[in-house]
Amino acid sequence: MVTFVDQVTLHLRAGKGGNGCVSVRREKFKPLAGPDGGNGGHGGDVVLVADPQVTTLLSYHHSPHRSAGNGGFGMGDHRSGAAGESLELPVPVGTVVKSPDGETLVDMITPGMRFVAAPGGQGGLGNAALASPKRKAPGFALLGTPGWEGDLVLELKTVADVALVGFPSAGKSSLVAAVSAARPKIADYPFTTLHPNLGVVQAGDVRFTIADVPGLIEGASEGRGLGLEFLRHVERCTVLVHVLDCATLEPGRDPLTDLDVILAELAAYPVPEGQVPLLDRPQVVALNKVDVPEAKDLADLVRPDLEARGLRVFEISTVSRAGLRELTFALGDLIAQHRIDQAAEQPEERIVIRPKGSEREFSVRVEGGSCGPLYRILGDKPVRWVQQTDFQNDEAVGYLADRLERLGIENELFRVGATPGATVVIGEGDGVVFDWQPSLSSAAELMVAPRGSDPRLDDSTRRTTAQRRERYHERMDAKADARAELEAERRAGRDGADG
């Protein structure tokens, strides 16, 4: 049996970016003709698309794990890797996308609306793109960054102009079938409707949508019956139509009692901030099944009481179609007036242009610990740069140090009190931990070293030219002193022999 699902948790994983390539072009008579490593391809995105043809989230209930394609690796001869294939997930119009902690990310109320739920990873640059006049043949490339991975909650709220509310078996599905081309399931037992049914109604020049909300009972706002699972579908409706059963045979039920119960449940349901409370919206009463003689007499009896409450009352029959034309035209007038008021109240959209670089790109947080203070670097750029670094390559590590220094992290660490040898972590959680040495950021491009190496990371204690010159002079002076001493001893021996 097909089940209606209006709330699911998606587990998404975007594609990983491909790694850049390290390659040096070789030609005849030119064994080292320059770097030609291509860039890695970007990872694929996971995109949610509002599709009017989709009416339920059932497919994501059965298959909640979705992932996009990874980017290809770069290759030699300046060949870039292929971009990962993006994944488009169609969702019903009216789907609200939330984070696991309940924060609303986007409300997809417009057909065709697109939302990148999981952005793909960035492809790494090849050594050709990293070459510069001072670093002519880089011996490293950047790695691809991982794509976004996490959970999102999809919640469907039906988008309709009119909501039909009432007790089970009040005739709501029959009313939708009578005024529109929709063909919902209709039977003579309670809770026949297990999901909202939508229909399109044409009333003169006004066209509007009508939703059959599944039957409500006392305690629905607290979760009884179908409860909160379908009360959310009333949130977006402009007009509420109370469908009251005038031919019910259940003891203790009558149109006035049913209306009081439904109004109490609608009043107890909290709507999102900024929306009009349910009971403050236009309301109409439809006394149904007046084709039954006893029901007609009951409708005539309760009508004055309902009108005394300020409600507009219509006596209808979905069998004989009595009163349907008057009801639909009255609803069309309410919808048309609401659309006019909404267009007049809607403020003109303001375009705000924010220059790039207006926000700080990183921050340094000092955290205490048993082994002394720990300095944590947070920010999109530093974290992404660490993900792109091959820590098995000394030249790549030196390049990372240069990037961090140019970003201003070096000065910020000095400002917050960091000293050489302090523990620094880049990113949340465990992150990348290292002992900070300011000497690592000292213009790697000006140093001459074999590809794939960085002299700043060399543990050897090779002496400088000045040190070697000083040592050479010390040895020459020592030899001169030794020669002078031997010469003095020889002269002393010769003078003794002559005497």
Check the annotation: does 318 bind a ligand: yes
Q: How far apart are CA 62 and CA 379, in angstroms?
A: 37
As a three-state string, the secondary structure of the chain is CCCCCCEEEEEEECCCCCCCCCCECCECCECCCCECCCCCCCCCCEEEEECCCCCCCHHHHHCCEEECCCCCCCECCCECCCCCCCEEEEECCCEEEECCCCCEEEEECCCCCEEEEECCCCCCCCHHHHCCCCCCCCCCCCCCCCCCEEEEEEEECCCCCEEEECCCCCCHHHHHHHHCCCCCCCCCCCCCCCCCEEEEEEECCEEEEEEECCCCCCCHHHCCCCCHHHHHHHCCCCEEEEEEECCCCCCCCCHHHHHHHHHHHHHHCCCCCCCCCHHHCCEEEEEECCCCHHHHHHHHHHHHHHHHCCCEEEECCCCCCCCHHHHHHHHHHHHHHHHHHHHHHCCCCCCCCCCCCCCCCCEEEEECCCCCCEEEEECHHHHHHHHCCCCCCHHHHHHHHHHHHHHCHHHHHHHCCCCCCCEEEECCCCCEEEECCHHHCCCHHHCCCCCCCCHHHCCCCCCCHHHHHHHHHHHHHHHHHHHHHHHHHHHHHHHHHHC
Q: In what order do the strands lie in the sheet with 46-50?
A: 87-91, 46-50, 114-118
Check the annotation: does 170 bind a ligand: yes
Check the annotation: does 73 bind a ligand: no
Check the annotation: does 191 bind a ligand: yes
Check the annotation: does 162 bind a ligand: no
Check the annotation: does 160 bind a ligand: no
Check the annotation: does 195 bind a ligand: yes
Check the annotation: does 291 bind a ligand: yes
Residue tagged 């082994």 (tokens): 371
Check the annotation: does 215 bind a ligand: yes
Check the annotation: does 171 bind a ligand: yes
Check the annotation: does 214 bind a ligand: yes
Q: How far apart are CA 9 and CA 49, in angstroms?
A: 16
Check the annotation: does 355 bind a ligand: no
Check the annotation: does 391 bind a ligand: no
Check the annotation: does 159 bind a ligand: no
Q: How far apart are CA 139 and CA 127, in angstroms?
A: 7
Check the annotation: does 192 bind a ligand: yes
Check the annotation: does 28 bind a ligand: no
**What phi and psi values does residue 59 have, to the nearest 5 degrees?**
-65, -35
Q: How far apart are CA 296 and CA 31, in angstroms?
A: 99
Check the annotation: does 10 bind a ligand: no
Q: How far apart are CA 12 and CA 86, in angstroms?
A: 12
Annotated binding site for Mg(2+): 173, 193
Annotated binding site for GTP: 166-173, 191-195, 212-215, 288-291, 317-319
Annotated binding site: 166-173, 191-195, 212-215, 288-291, 317-319
